[in-house]
Amino acid sequence: MKEFIVLSEEVKAGQAKGLPIVALESTIISHGMPYPQNVKTAREVEQIIRDNGAVPATIALIDGKIKIGLSDEELEMFGNSQGVAKASRRDLGYLLATKKLGATTVAATMICAELADIEIFVTGGIGGVHRGAETTMDVSADLEELAQTNVAVICAGAKSILDIGLTLEYLETKGVPVVGYGTDELPAFYTRQSGFDVNFQLDTPEEIAAMLSAKWQLGLKGGAVIANPIPEAEALDHTFITNIIEKALAEAEENGIQGKNVTPFLLGKVKELTEGKSLDANIALVKNNAVVGAKIAVAYNQLH
């Protein structure tokens, strides 16, 4: 297994010194945001993690290896090339064996993080149960991964391109805790409110670290969703974004978008219809998650 894993110098040195490490995904770079904002954001997020006392490890598949920590050139390559596959759990074996470039989703990043002994992972949003999943069966592999892989995902809640209620039901069935960071309501990515409660509200990185530690010490497999609301000043108006999401969903349906193309299509459409406002919000919330995630990693590290 170890033959597939390559740590960057920064991550290797960090692990040797016992520093907290924070995993970051690469699908958000290759398929979640346009160039050049994607690369700029990826670099800034890494720096925020350093500034808050942890070591960033952006994860991707390159030339038959799982890279834990990317160079500046590699970040640029993932942000600015067409031929990067979106890599989820099912794709890992194929992409490694064929030595193709793979941008890891939340699910695949969790798998790779666990292989590299990284417990804390920061991103923007997780996949979930899509609206209409009763008939399409479009349920993100991210949810199954949260059920079985011991990595906590700091995100801004679940986007309303998803069926948030069904996503919470799925996570409940799988025993995945959904924690609100300083809130009792699950944030909905672009907005701070969703109308759904989280399972537990915790207000400090130390409390979250203690919860994760207790869960895993018991041998309870699986991750946790740590939902951190977008900062008030960056949040989009609820009615504005809801109308746009409805339009994006209708266009996806008209165009027969399916499978792994659904989420990138919807994100791109929402960006276009908001004239970039959704992208600004997305960038702001990821940076906000990086601050919180780094602090959780520091607190978790102190317990171990």
- CA 70, distance to chain mean position in Å, is 17
The response to whether 294 counts as a known ligand-binding position is no
The response to whether 72 counts as a known ligand-binding position is no
Q: In the numeric block, which tokens belong to residue 69?
A: 């920590």
* Residue 62: C-alpha distances to residues 4, 59, 93, 99 (Å): 10, 10, 13, 7
Q: Which residue has the tokens 């759990």?
A: 89
Interhelix angle 262-273/238-254, rounded to 10 degrees, is 130
- Candidate list 46, 76, 159, 260, residue with the active-site label: 159
**Which residue from 138, 142, 145, 163 is in contact with Mn ion, where contact means CB under 5 A?**
138
Interhelix angle 106-115/141-148, rounded to 10 degrees, is 30
11 binds, among ligand PSU, Mn ion, none (CB under 5 to 8 A by kind): none
Q: In the numeric block, which tokens belong to residue 111?
A: 């798998």
Cβ closest to ligand PSU, residue 116 vs residue 188: 188
Question: Is residue 99 flagged as an active site residue?
Answer: no
| Residue 114 engages Mn ion in binding (rule: CB under 5 A) | no
The response to whether 142 counts as a known ligand-binding position is yes
- Give the CB-nearest residue to ligand PSU: 32
Q: What is d(CA 195, CA 122) in angstroms, rounded to the nearest whole number?
A: 24
Binding residues with Mn ion: total (CB under 5 A): 1
User: How many other C-beta atoms can be found within 10 angstroms of the C-beta atom of residue 126?
Assistant: 27
Where on the chain is the footprint of ligand PSU (CB under 6 A)? 25, 27-28, 31-32, 105-106, 124-125, 127, 140-142, 159, 260, 262-263, 267
Q: In the numeric block, which tokens belong to residue 252?
A: 């996806």
The response to whether 197 counts as a known ligand-binding position is no
101 binds, among ligand PSU, Mn ion, none (CB under 5 to 8 A by kind): none
113 binds, among ligand PSU, Mn ion, none (CB under 5 to 8 A by kind): none
Question: Is residue 295 flagged as an active site residue?
Answer: no
Do residues 294 and 54 lie in contact, with contact meaning Cβ atoms separated by under 8 Å? yes
106 binds, among ligand PSU, Mn ion, none (CB under 5 to 8 A by kind): ligand PSU
The response to whether 39 counts as a known ligand-binding position is no
What are the binding residues?
86, 106, 138, 140-142
Interacting residue ranges for Mn ion, rule: CB under 5 A: 138
Point out the residues that are catalytic. Answer: 25, 159
